[in-house]
Copies of this chain bind each other. A is one copy, B any other.
Amino acid sequence: MNKQQLFEQIQLKKSFLCIGLDPVLEKLPKHLLKYEDPILEFNKQLIDATHDLCVAYKPNTAFYESRGVKGWETLVKTWQHIPKDQFTIADAKRGDIGNTSAMYAEAFFNEESSAMSFDSITVAPYMGKDSVSPFLNHPNKWVILLALTSNPGSQDFQTQQSNEQLLYEQVIKTSATWANSDQLMYVVGATKAQEFENIRRLAPDHFLLVPGVGAQGGDLAAVCKYGLNKQCGLLINAARSIIYASSGEDFAEAARAEALALQQEMEQLLKAAQLL
């Protein structure tokens, strides 16, 4: 999916919601345990109940890898169940030397190799340009580079001084020379709303993937005040607040209600910004 198509989906659905599919077996509604693959059933019902309210789904690969081979099977089948009008994000935080990143690109972008072809993958910037470029060699695929994350550890390096700027600022400036906003997005944590104004100066046209709204405490209106651009430019991720909205048999309906509340808030914010 290219940038214009993503913006069209945002306008069509009046939403820039991304739903994080990060399931843990112990937290699943008990009635799902009778299925052969309870996590897959959980994901399928969540997707079926919410796909008209969101524009993206983001499985975090750790939650699947933790279950070994059967978890990887669940990830493949989850990807296969996501409707084709959704922007799909493999939240994998990968990155290695060039020939190895090329293999990760096969893993997440090449359906013939791995039975999955996500639109995008999250990548860690520490190893620099040649760790990122192999992903960009795939046409119409995206790198979502970690810039400023929402966790406490973001203070350890990302916000330290680097060449008279902060490291995350340097990551944005340097990586913007590797690809333009048609293939590159940034991860920016919503717990840092005051930083969005600064980030928009460095990356006015890029989409930003924003985790941390909901369970992690971010404020949607504050993020939008500084983060919206002329093609929306934001994908707001919510995971736990939606997928665990209820632990009962009504979990999918409850997830839909949470997603609907966010979609309605987003619709108002898009209208106020004259993007609808």
Chain A, interface size category, equals 35 or more
Q: Is A156 an interface residue (CB 8 A)?
A: yes
CB distance from A67 to the nearest CB of B (A): 6
Closest B-chain residue to A133, C-beta based?
Answer: B153
Closest B-chain residue to A177, C-beta based?
Answer: B156
- Set B65, B131, B157: member contacting A153, Cβ < 8 A: B131
A115→B70 CA distance, assembly (Å): 11
Q: Which stretch of A35-43, A44-52, A122-130 is in the interface?
A: A122-130
CB distance from A19 to the nearest CB of B (A): 16
Q: Is A268 an interface residue (CB 8 A)?
A: no
Q: Which residues of A contact B (CB under 8 A)?
A: 22, 24, 60, 62-63, 65-69, 71-73, 76, 93-98, 100-101, 103-104, 106-107, 110, 113-116, 124-132, 146, 149-158, 160-163, 167, 170-171, 174
A-B contact pairs, 17 of them (CB 8 A): A24-B103, A65-B107, A66-B103, A66-B113, A68-B107, A68-B114, A69-B72, A69-B115, A71-B114, A126-B146, A126-B158, A128-B156, A129-B156, A131-B151, A157-B170, A161-B162, A161-B163
